Amino acid sequence: PYPVLEDMKNAVIGNNKQKANLIVLGAVPRLLYLLQQESSSTELRTECAVVLGSLAMGTENNVKSLLDCHIIPALLQGLLSPDLKFIEACLRCLRTIFISPVTPEDLLYTDATVISHLMALLSRSRYTQEYICQIFSHCCKGPDHQTILFNHGAVQNIAHLLVSTSYKVRMQALKCFSVLAFENPQVSMTLVNVLVDGELLPQIFVKMLQRDKPIEMQLTSAKCLTSMCRAGAIRTDDSCIILKYPPWSGANS
């Protein structure tokens, strides 16, 4: 199957018509079958996840077809593998599916053990960190989801990622905090006292507001601070709210 998978992968990259053709021809159930076979080599299962991820990057109809084939349970099962490359491929595909507007966020929360396992996978690599944080930030819609993630230790598990050497990881972790804290006093009050490398989270958020940071980072950190301020976790006359820059930054406000 390897040359066939290679041909599939090359055919569908950037080609929505070919993606739709493969789906119509029934490729998805076959790929999912191979992906779930313990007897399949890890390389083969990884290639299947890569091709499925490419199909998911097509149209919303493509994603609907993948969902109809129960791709999410199959990929979540794949996360139990000991092989990091296969885990990363499954997470990349899950990320692509979950950020699609046609995917119900509740599919992430149907099995309570999934969130715990995702938290545990955060320590495996910068890719697991990036993809899992992106999944969490897209699937955290409303107080019920916030509570589930909070109770599974999201704050403690994600906080240290804000000082990652990878910009993508820092950005996705920041987005997680912006959705966790949104209109949620419990989370906002908790964030005030979290220390990362000797710095409190509000101080880290303020540093991310500085003008040398990308606009996306400035806006998202501002959302975090706004939520904390509205919850009463930060006083409205706090210097980090009144001034865009903290006193230690050396910048003029």
For residues 186 and 191, give the distance between their C-alpha atoms in angstroms, rounded to a whole number.
9
Q: Report pLDDT digits (tens) over 225-245.
A: 999 999 888 877 766 665 554
Beta carbons of 90 and 74 less than 8 angstroms apart: no
For residue 11, the model assigns a pLDDT of 79
For residue 242, the model assigns a pLDDT of 56
Amino acid of residue 45:
R
For residue 58, the model assigns a pLDDT of 84
For residue 37, the model assigns a pLDDT of 94
If DSSP states are collapsed to H, E and C, what string results for 47-65? HHHHHHHHHHCCCHHHHHH
Low-confidence ranges of the chain (pLDDT < 70): 1, 238-253
For residues 36 and 45, give the distance between their C-alpha atoms in angstroms, rounded to a whole number.
7
Give the residue from 146, 91, 101, 98 showing the smallest Cα distance to 122: 91
For residues 248 and 203, give the distance between their C-alpha atoms in angstroms, rounded to a whole number.
10
For residue 250, the model assigns a pLDDT of 41
For residues 65 and 29, give the distance between their C-alpha atoms in angstroms, rounded to a whole number.
10
Amino acid of residue 19:
K
Query: Which of helix, strand or coil describes residue 71?
Result: helix
For residue 248, the model assigns a pLDDT of 40
For residue 241, the model assigns a pLDDT of 61
For residue 94, the model assigns a pLDDT of 98
Beta carbons of 8 and 22 less than 8 angstroms apart: yes
Beta carbons of 46 and 83 less than 8 angstroms apart: yes
Amino acid of residue 124:
R
**pTM assigned to the model:** 0.91
